Chain A
Amino acid sequence: MTEPLSSRVLPVLTIIGVIIAVWYAAAIWMNAPFQRDLDRRANVTSTTMEFIGKTLSQPKPVVPAPHQVARNFFENTFLRNVTSNRSLVYHSWVTLSSTLAGFASGTLLGILIAVGIVHVKALDRSLMPWIIASQTVPILAIAPMVVVVLAAINVTGLIPKALISTYLSFFPVAVGMVKGLRSPELMHLDLMRTYNSSTWQTFWKLRVPASLPFLFTSMKVAVAASLVGAIVGELPTGAAAGIGSKLLAGSYYSQTIDMWSALIAGSVLAAILVTIVGIGSRIVDRRMGVKPT
């Protein structure tokens, strides 16, 4: 059920409006006790409106107000030199580079595993259950350990984070590609057999084209997963840069506004990455002559 765009804009805007309103209310309510404390110590009595204004402009609030986060985000994204340590663009770039490295190798690994599983029966029977089991291991939980341990043998920087992203992103790709490579109908496979085509030819001319929609769907999941991997990989060990380290620093020094804007930077990054994969999928679809639905 795809409704026309216009019928979706109003509801989405309404919901976003409600969220922002609730956010403001929460900010006032959660910041009020601390502000009341401050006022009492300073012997200030303020009217309700003044009081509300103050709760929304604390330097280190429990809940920063939306406009504070927006201002901080704007300042740190557009007004700072991109090489500066305080620029969100810089931190996003650090996270993005390891996300992309991990995503690329994870996708490659996933495709290789899927090709192996589809063509070698022993692999299908023995590997598939373990691939599923591998995802019940909360790997993110050991992300810090991977980083620390690799640092102990002088592997630092991009590679440990990219490894975590790889581990998180290979799974959706492998599962999706196994489904995709097996998606050609029996009839088509039989047709290839009547052409006397080799396994190799069947693979390139039938299985691969049939699997592309599955590949892109799973790549969308994988790219989001590898971003999460990169961010969590930056949490421990006092990584010097990246969205994750920004979050951790914010939580140490209770710079809540910084934390929220780092979170928003991560979200924007995720949205951009997923959109890029989506556009890639549409381009490939058009090249292959899929009719837009």
Chain B
Amino acid sequence: MSMLLRSWQGTGALILCLVALARLPLLSPEASAPFGSGTTAMILLLVVVGALASFLRMQEAALAGILFVAAHFTAWLLIAGLSGNEGQANLSFFLLVAACWLLGWRCISVLAEIRPKTGGASTALRLLIPAIFGAWVLILWEAITRGAGVPFILLPPPSAIWERIIGSVSILAADVRQTIFKAVLFGYAVGCAAGFIVAILADRVAFLRRGLLPIGNLMSALPIIGVAPIMVMWFGFDWQSKAAVVIVMTFFPMLVNTVAGLGASGAMERDLMRSYASDYWQTLIKLRLPAAMPFIFNALKINSTLALIGAIVAEFFGTPIVGMGFRISTEIGRMNVDMVWAEIAVAAVIGSVFYGVIALAERATTFWHPSNRGG
């Protein structure tokens, strides 16, 4: 067994470093605050050390640690050096960013190969790897937008969006209260409950099921979002019309999935329930609903995204002067793109939290399902 590993990312990083060295300086000559020669040397040194380390056969955790520090500290140095010099980065700057990115990639590859022995370490790893990946999306975004001076309107850098979020917490909070806590939660709860109840009815009455299911399947493929203007016309500009859109959008996925789930319990188990002389409701509650849970949770997850989309898009058709959709459409008109991105970031976080809560609830209720066991 040789002492060296093959690491194409390391090779790539070294080559990029060499080219970058030949094409110094990092910033164009007009830059007001150029990199000091010490900083430049430090950056190059860190990248080279990281790249060389990636060839050595050593303990994976140690290697990942070295790579992590080398890649991220260098990236931080590079981006910190940009302040005051927006849009004046040279080719060598981007080459070094790319070299850091390769080291980060290598770090992820190394981490992905680790087989942790304890459950805690495995969970930490499962969170760490995507976190590094996400961090690199942000780093590249920041470096490219600020380094190349991408017009602010086209794509503001993440740091500006973050500043905007911090600076307008009160506006964002009011919008979230209007859109999420009034329209989305109400509509989501009512829509899902209605879908569930109708599904039970359809299950009880075979005639209804045969009639509703094809229609439900068709409806869940239709662009239901189009009813938004109609609902705004019927229920007025305030949150009730948005809740109505959300109800219509969430109803059909819930209906179709619940009906499918109620058919999921095995014939053997149903026969067993019959041999216990259990009536329809006992079979439903003790056997068929638990068996339908994975399907119901699937619908809840799909609906969590649909509900957000429905409420925000419905606000494009008319709102009181508060709400996330309202803010997005007016701030685009004023070309305040950073505010739009701030709303999107908030919506994304809320959407993820919403999804995460449902996923946790699913784990708690359907712990018996094969997809939640083992692994």
Using a CB–CB cutoff of 8 Å, the interface residues on chain A facing chain B are: 1, 3, 7-8, 11-16, 30, 62, 121-122, 124-130, 132-133, 135-142, 144-145, 148-149, 152-153, 220, 224, 227-228, 231-232, 235-236, 243, 247-248, 250-251, 254, 256, 259-260, 262-263, 266-267, 270-271, 274
Is A231 in contact with B313, judged by CB distance below 8 angstroms? no
Q: Mark B179-218, 1 if CB is under 8 A from A, else 0.
A: 0000000000000000000000000000111111011001
Is A136 in contact with B352, judged by CB distance below 8 angstroms? yes
Q: Which residues of B contact A247 (CB under 8 A)?
A: 226, 229
Considering the complex, give the chain B residue whose CB is closest to the CB of A268: B222
Docked Cα-Cα span, A256 to B233, in Å, equals 9
User: What would 9 A/B residue contacts be, using CB atoms closer than 8 Å?
Assistant: A125-B126, A136-B304, A136-B354, A140-B312, A140-B313, A144-B329, A231-B226, A235-B313, A266-B223
SS of A interface (majority): helix
Q: Which residues of A contact B108 (CB under 8 A)?
A: 122, 125-126
Closest 9 A/B residue pairs (Cβ): A11-B211, A251-B229, A136-B351, A15-B211, A126-B133, A141-B312, A11-B210, A129-B130, A122-B109
Is B223 in contact with A228, judged by CB distance below 8 angstroms? yes
Docked Cα-Cα span, A13 to B109, in Å, equals 57
What's the minimum C-beta distance from A65 to chain B, rounded to whole angstroms? Answer: 14
Q: Which residues of B contact A140 (CB under 8 A)?
A: 225, 309, 312-313
Using a CB–CB cutoff of 8 Å, the interface residues on chain B facing chain A are: 105, 108-109, 111-113, 126, 129-130, 132-134, 137, 151, 153-155, 207-212, 214-215, 218, 221-223, 225-227, 229-230, 232-234, 263, 304-305, 308-309, 312-313, 316-318, 324-325, 328-329, 332, 337, 340, 344, 347-348, 351-352, 354-355
Contacts A136-B354, A138-B347 given: A231-B223 contact, CB under 8 Å? yes
Docked Cα-Cα span, A235 to B218, in Å, equals 23
Docked Cα-Cα span, A292 to B180, in Å, equals 47
Is A267 in contact with B133, judged by CB distance below 8 angstroms? no
What's the minimum C-beta distance from A7 to chain B, rounded to whole angstroms? Answer: 7
Most B CB contacts (10 A, CB to CB) among A122, A124, A254 go to: A122
Contacts A144-B316, A263-B227 given: A271-B130 contact, CB under 8 Å? no
Docked Cα-Cα span, A250 to B344, in Å, equals 28
Is B208 in contact with A271, judged by CB distance below 8 angstroms? no
Is B214 in contact with A8, judged by CB distance below 8 angstroms? yes
Is B112 in contact with A149, judged by CB distance below 8 angstroms? no
Contacts A125-B130, A274-B221 given: A236-B309 contact, CB under 8 Å? no
Considering the complex, give the chain A residue whose CB is closest to the CB of B353: A136
Contacts A15-B212, A251-B317 given: A141-B344 contact, CB under 8 Å? yes
Is B225 in contact with A14, judged by CB distance below 8 angstroms? no
Considering the complex, give the chain B residue whose CB is closest to the CB of A269: B223
Q: Which residues of B contact A259 (CB under 8 A)?
A: 229-230
Q: Which residues of B contact A16 (CB under 8 A)?
A: 215
12 further contact pairs, Cβ within 8 A, besides A125-B129, A144-B332, A254-B233 = A13-B211, A15-B208, A126-B132, A130-B133, A140-B312, A145-B337, A149-B337, A153-B151, A235-B313, A259-B230, A266-B226, A270-B221
SS of B interface (majority): helix
What's the minimum C-beta distance from A60 to chain B, rounded to whole angstroms? Answer: 10
Considering the complex, give the chain A residue whose CB is closest to the CB of B109: A122
Contacts A12-B215, A16-B215, A142-B344 given: A267-B208 contact, CB under 8 Å? no
What's the minimum C-beta distance from B319 to chain A, rounded to whole angstroms? Answer: 13
What's the minimum C-beta distance from B357 to chain A, rounded to whole angstroms? Answer: 11
Contacts A137-B348, A251-B229 given: A145-B130 contact, CB under 8 Å? no
Is A227 in contact with B308, judged by CB distance below 8 angstroms? no
Q: Which residues of B contact A243 (CB under 8 A)?
A: 226
Which of A14, A121, A141, A262 touches B309 (beta carbons < 8 Å)? Answer: A141
Docked Cα-Cα span, A271 to B325, in Å, equals 29
Is A251 in contact with B309, judged by CB distance below 8 angstroms? no
Considering the complex, give the chain B residue whose CB is closest to the CB of A128: B130
Q: Which residues of B contact A236 (CB under 8 A)?
A: 316, 329, 332
What's the minimum C-beta distance from A27 to chain B, rounded to whole angstroms? Answer: 12
What's the minimum C-beta distance from A232 to chain B, rounded to whole angstroms? Answer: 6
Q: Which residues of B contact A15 (CB under 8 A)?
A: 208, 211-212, 215
Most A CB contacts (10 A, CB to CB) among B111, B151, B222 go to: B222
